[in-house]
Amino acid sequence: MLQSAAAVAVLVSGVVDGTAQRIEAAQIALRQCTGRGDILIGQRPSGRPRLALPYPELAVSLSHRADLLLAAFSPIGDVGADIEIDAPDIEAHRVATDHFSPGEAAAVARAGEATARDLFLRLWVAKEAALKVSGRGVFDGVGEPDLAAHLDRLAHDGAEIQIAARGRLPALTLVLRRLALPQRPSIYCGLAVAA
C-alpha cells in the first residue's frame, strides 16, 4: 500500500484482464483499505475511471501491468497512480534522452545500468501518476513535471515529494515505492495527489 496524507493506493494481484474486472477489483480493494463502503467506480466515455458522488470524479486512478492492478483514491481531490514492472530490456538511457527533461536524462545517463533502470522507472511512475492528475495522462508526453531537483527524494521509498504548480499540473504530492515480491521482478508504484 502507498499512502500520503490525502490519498491511498492499494496493489491487487491476480486480476483477470478486462476493464469491468479491474474496476470491480479496484472498488473492492479500495473499500476494504479505506473502510468506505460508498466508493463507487464507474467509467467515463473515454474509458477512464471516475468516482460517483460524493467524491470528486478524478479522485480515483487505476493502473495495471500483467496481473497487477494499482488502485488509488483520495476523498478530497484529483489523484493519479502508475505501476511498472522492471525488465532487463528497458532502454533507460535512450528513453530518458528522448522523453525526460535534460537534467533527468543526464542523471539516468550518469548511472550504471541497474541504477539507471531504477531511476528511470521511479521517474516514469512519478511522471505518469502526476500527469493522470491533470486528466490527460501522458497524452502530451512526459516532459512534465521536471523532477531533476527531486532525484534524491525519489530514491527513498515512501517519501512525500512536494511539487509546485507548473504548466498543466497543479501543486502535487508524490509518493513512490519499489516493491520486491517473491517470484517477480521489482514493481514500481507511483501515487500523485493534487495538493
Distance between first and last Cα of the chain? 20
According to the model, what pLDDT value does residue 151 have? Answer: 94
- Determine the length of the chain: 195
Identify the segments of the chain with pLDDT beneath 50: none
Give per-residue pLDDT as tens, 28-79: 999 999 999 999 999 888 778 899 888 888 899 999 999 999 999 999 889 9
Q: Note whether 155 and 111 are within 8 A (CB).
A: no
H helices of the chain, in order, are 19-34, 92-99, 102-110, 113-133, 151-154
Q: What is the pLDDT of residue 136?
A: 66
Measured CA to CA, the distance from residue 105 to residue 87 in angstroms comes to 19
**pTM for this predicted structure:** 0.92
